[in-house]
Homo-oligomer: A and B are copies of this chain.
Amino acid sequence: MLTRKIADSTVRRLAIYLRFLEEFERQGADTLSSEALAARAGTTSAQVRKDLSFFGSFGKRGLGYDVHALARQLRNILGLTRRYRVLLVGAGRLAGALTQYAEFGARGFDIVVVVDKDPAKIGMRWAELVIADVTDLENIVKRARIDIAILVTPAAPAQALVDRLVAAGVTAMLNFAPVQLHVPAGVDVKNVNLAVELETLSYAIQHRGSS
């Protein structure tokens, strides 16, 4: 793993390429050019080749890429050859939707625990999951061997929860709360802010025709 710093945009595109490779795989394609993959993924062939080149030479000149082999390589690169144990922090409606989100499971992410602080929710069952008490967060993280936490809480308690998660040894988090979380080096946080996405659309609507 001699990889120097790879841009986040590159990693995202690799994940997207993998999706389309698997689609081509299902359609029975054996070989694929960077051009064809780029068309599907909405980028350019040079971008595809450059992205892949950071990790090795996976193609055959004059031919393209072996669909199966490249998919396998991308799964290796992305760390998708194992399964991850995911904790949901917050048992609201978005959390409920995420537990049912089939794509997570298909890609190796298993939601194994949900915690909340609301006594009315604690003990409730969501399919095979039972909502646990956030008070026990540290024990749960350890006993359930959590790899990744997904924060689906209001903004206010998010930082305190992150501090507890970090102290308990969680090093990767996906944050839906609209706050900037502070974590020590060695811990990765990715933010998803749905309202911000809509606001970039409202910006675009506002600034039409002024090109």
Contact = CB atoms under 8 A, between A and B. Distances in A.
A172 interface: yes
B210 A2 contact: yes
Contacts of A204: 172, 188
Contacts of A201: 148, 172-174, 188, 190
Most chain B C-beta atoms within 10 Å of own C-beta, residue among A19, A171, A192: A19
A195 B148 contact: no
Interface residues of A, number: 66
Nearest to A148: B201
B147 A199 contact: no
B195 A190 contact: no
Number of copies: 2
Interface in A66-113: 77-80, 84, 86, 92-94, 96-98, 100-101, 103-104, 107-109
B190 A200 contact: yes
A207 interface: yes
A84 B202 contact: yes
Contacts of A3: 207, 210
A82 to B, nearest CB: 8
Interface of A: 1-3, 5-6, 8, 11-12, 14-16, 18-19, 40-42, 77-80, 84, 86, 92-94, 96-98, 100-101, 103-104, 107-109, 147-148, 171-174, 178, 180, 182, 186, 188, 190, 192-208, 210-211
